[in-house]
Amino acid sequence: MIPFRKMHGLGNDFVIVDARPAPLPLAPTRIAALSDRHYGIGCDQFITLETPGPGADVFMRIHNPDGSEAGACGNATRCVAHLLMAETGRERVVVRTIRGDLPCERLPDGPHGTDWVRADMGPPLLGWREVPLAAEMDTLHLPMDLGAVADPAACSMGNPHATFFVPELDAIDWRALGPVAEHHALLPERANIGFAQVLAPDHIRVAIWERGAGPTLACGSGACATLVNAHRRGLAGRRARVELPGGTLEMEWRLGGHVLMAGPVATAFEGRFDPQAFPG
Ligand SMILES: N[C@H](CCC[C@H](N)C(=O)O)C(=O)O
């Protein structure tokens, strides 16, 4: 039997397994089965903790429920950091991903008396090859028109994001538009798709259709991409509250280039599963 911990950041939820004591060779098909909300445990991303090299406290591997591996997961970064802080008693830890090292710190005096964790998600990647896009173009204005939405901006936070800016989020069927954009020909590695309504230079409402996962209650790297793309378009400052369906993250795109995100984390439950009971 394999123990797991179920955590979430604003309802963006994760199954977390610990492969630091010994390798846990779970095939993508088995990860997908475990991530299924009816036949498995269910989650937005499946997170595997691995022993890092020097300079980090943990390596965090990220899989989507379709079995694909992702390069960033902001809310899981915050959850894993909180787990490590509880293990070590430290207020600051470093989470390593395939994208790089993400320093995290606990904010004990967060709003509403909850423990908040702030993650430094690193700098956004703004070049067309870095997103990546299918051809050379201005990443601030993609020639993509889906009728109800068009002209998104794109960037990478270690994973690809495209952001549509809309006058009224409630007026569009973003759950129908999301998969069309996710699989658009301009996005050779697909992308996480944000639908953002800028309410003020420091307040953005966004809904995210996640690559390989679909609609989620929150998306940390998506919130980072939303702020970056809004600021690049002159629609927002460098600090903003980003309001997602599951709650609000406090975001900052620092002059040094790094994007920071802060918000609450929670553990829902712990359990165990028999991997042989799942196809894979
Ligand atoms: N929920 C995650 C994003 C997962 C990204 C994944 N869907 C991808 O394929 O890039 C977050 O909080 O950043």
What are the structural domains of the chain? 2-120+264-274 (3.10.310.10), 153-257 (3.10.310.10)
Distance in Å, CA 34 to ligand 1 centroid:
17
Say what the pTM is.
0.97
Q: Which residues of 143-171 are buried (b: 16+ CB within 10 A; e: fewer)?
A: ebebeebeebbbbbbbbbbbbbbbeebee
Which of 212, 263, 272, 252 lies closest to 17, judged by CA?
272
Q: Per DSSP, which regions of 172-246 are E strands?
A: 192-200, 203-210, 214-215, 239-244
- Give the dihedral sign, CA 120/262/200/244: positive
In the block, which residue shows the tokens 């309504």? 197
pLDDT in tens, the chain (280 residues): 999 999 999 999 999 999 999 999 999 999 999 999 999 999 999 999 999 999 999 999 999 999 999 999 999 999 999 999 999 999 999 999 999 999 999 997 666 566 899 999 999 999 999 999 999 999 999 999 999 999 999 999 999 999 999 999 999 999 999 999 999 999 999 999 999 999 999 999 999 999 999 999 999 999 999 999 999 999 999 999 999 999 999 999 999 899 999 999 999 999 999 999 998 8
**Which amino acids are annotated as binding site, given as ranges?**
12, 45, 64, 74-75, 159, 192, 210-211, 220-221
Is residue 176 helix, strand or coil? helix
Measured between its terminal Cα atoms, the distance across the chain in Å is 16
Annotated binding site for substrate: 12, 45, 64, 74-75, 159, 192, 210-211, 220-221
Give the E-state strand segments of 108-191 in sequence order: 116-120, 153-156, 160-165
Spatial distance between the Cα atoms of 240 and 231, rounded to a whole number of angstroms? 10
